[in-house]
């Protein structure tokens, strides 16, 4: 890989795959469109937004390329980073009339990309993102809930609950006293009655820590996705995916709470890198090490 300008990419590439923290996806699409317009104008190419954004954000990004020579693909990546013989799947959808571009995207499999197309009646931009939101809302939601409960059983917290954000875990203010007995009891009970969940915690938590900063925006996108699915009359976002600020109640706040949690973890990870006290990181890593010992002893 090598660094290059957006203008150079616009003049040479046939495909652009955008893979960024969700909060940066829309602005990047705008910058790329502007660079393309300035450098090459009429040159045709395709732009695949592969970010973890909700369907309305995907449509907003697609609108950036209306009346340009740039074709748009909505893609959602399901799975972890490539390693060994494993590759994640790029699910992709496109608007009616762009099926040829969708088929060309599938052709990228010759370069090692694993692609599955979403086609059929009603399929359009937003469908791949909806699949990504649904999948990540389950998998990363589970990790977030496990993380919250590990922290709560490992440390006694003083909590301030915002009356408008009933399920918001991240209104935790400070830790006061360690409770290792509670943490150990939780670990051994999980090993006894929920071994699959404990195995998932042991396998996923350390990998989550360096990614937590990326998952903040993803949880916000999932929250908007849930809100739109359960309240279709809700006003759609016009310039950003973060349409929930100011919302006072609703099940979409489940993932807004997880966004706050992952933000908390991300800050702790940065503190740990800087050599500062990072109790959350210490607690989670300690729990994982103990869990691995218990699992291996079974």
Helix (H, G, I), strand (E, B) or coil at 140: helix
Q: What is the pLDDT of residue 282?
A: 86
The backbone torsions φ and ψ at residue 13, rounded to the nearest 5 degrees and listed phi first, read -85, 145
The pLDDT assigned to 228 comes to 76
CA distances from 90 to 112, 123, 229 (A): 11, 16, 23
Task: Quote the pLDDT of residue 229.
Answer: 72
- Could you tell me the sign of the dihedral formed by the alpha carbons of 74, 77, 81, 87, in that order? negative
Residues 164, 74: Cα–Cα separation, whole Å: 34
Average pLDDT over residues 102-108: 96
Q: Give the model's pLDDT for residue 165.
A: 24
Give dist(CA 208, CA 133) in Å, integer: 17
Mean pLDDT score, 122-147: 82
State the pLDDT at residue 240: 42
Distance between start and end Cα atoms, the chain: 44
| Measured distance CA(127)–CA(17) in Å, rounded | 17
Tokens of 10: 């616009």
Task: Report the C-alpha dihedral over residues 90, 96, 101, 107, rounded to 10 degrees.
Answer: 50
| Per-residue confidence (pLDDT) for residue 287, from 0 to 100 | 84
Confidence of residue 232 (pLDDT cuts 50, 70, 90): low
What is the number of helices (H) and of strands (E) in the chain?
10, 7
193-201: average pLDDT: 83
Q: Are 5 and 36 in contact (CB under 8 A)?
A: no
CA distance 102 to 188: 49
Question: What's the pLDDT score for residue 279?
Answer: 85
pLDDT of residue 67: 94
In the sheet with 89-93, reading across from the earlier edge strand, the strands are: 15-18, 45-49, 70-78, 89-93, 114-117
Collapse the DSSP code of 79 into the 3-class scheme (helix H, G, I; strand E, B; otherwise coil) and give the result.
coil
pLDDT in tens, 157-178: 433 322 222 222 222 222 222 3
3-state helix, strand, coil in the chain (%, to 5): 55, 15, 30
The pair of three-digit structure tokens given for residue 248, joined into one six-digit string: 């006072």
Quote the mean pLDDT of the chain.
80
- CB atoms closer than 10 angstroms to residue 296: 8
| Nearest to 39, CA basis, from 66, 60, 15, 69 | 69
What distance in Å separates the CA atoms of residue 245 and residue 53, rounded to the nearest whole number? 16
CATH architecture of 6-125: 3-Layer(aba) Sandwich (3.40)
Asked whether the predicted pLDDT for residue 8 surpasses 90, the reply is yes
Q: What is the pLDDT of residue 222?
A: 85
CB atoms within 10 A of CB 187: 23
What's the whole-number mean pLDDT along residues 183-202?
77
SS3 145: helix
Measure Cα distances from 222 to 85, 120, 203, 235 in Å.
30, 24, 23, 16
Instruction: Give the tens place of pLDDT for each residue, 44-85.
Output: 999 999 999 988 999 999 999 999 999 999 999 988 888 888
């Amino acid at each position: 890989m090598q660094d290059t300008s957006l203008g150079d990419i616009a003049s040479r590439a046939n495909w652009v795959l955008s893979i960024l923290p969700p909060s940066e996806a829309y602005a990047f699409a705008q910058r790329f469109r502007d660079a393309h317009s300035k450098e090459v104008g009429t040159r045709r190419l395709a732009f695949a937004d592969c970010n973890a954004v909700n369907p309305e954000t995907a449509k907003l990004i697609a609108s950036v390329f209306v009346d340009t020579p740039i074709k748009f693909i909505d893609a959602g990546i399901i799975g972890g980073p490539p390693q060994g013989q494993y590759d994640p799947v790029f699910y992709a959808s496109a608007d009616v009339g762009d099926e040829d571009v969708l088929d060309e995207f599938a052709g990228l499999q010759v370069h090692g990309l694993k692609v599955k197309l979403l086609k059929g009646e009603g399929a359009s931009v937003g469908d791949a993102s909806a699949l990504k939101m649904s999948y990540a809302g389950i998998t990363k939601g589970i990790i977030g809930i496990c993380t919250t409960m590990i922290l709560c059983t490992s440390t006694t917290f003083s909590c301030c609950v915002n009356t408008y954000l009933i399920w918001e875990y991240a209104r935790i203010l400070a830790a006061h006293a360690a409770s290792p007995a509670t943490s150990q009891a939780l670990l051994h009970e999980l090993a006894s009655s929920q071994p699959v969940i404990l195995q998932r915690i042991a396998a996923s938590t350390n990998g989550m820590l360096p990614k937590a900063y990326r998952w903040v925006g993803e949880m916000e996108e999932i929250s908007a996705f849930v809100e739109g699915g359960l309240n279709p009359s809700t006003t759609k976002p016009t310039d950003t995916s973060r349409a929930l600020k100011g919302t006072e109640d609703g099940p979409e706040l489940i993932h807004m709470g997880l966004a706050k949690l992952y933000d908390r973890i991300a800050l702790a990870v940065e503190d740990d890198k800087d050599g500062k006290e990072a109790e959350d990181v210490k607690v989670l890593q300690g729990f994982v090490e103990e869990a691995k010992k218990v699992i291996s002893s079974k």
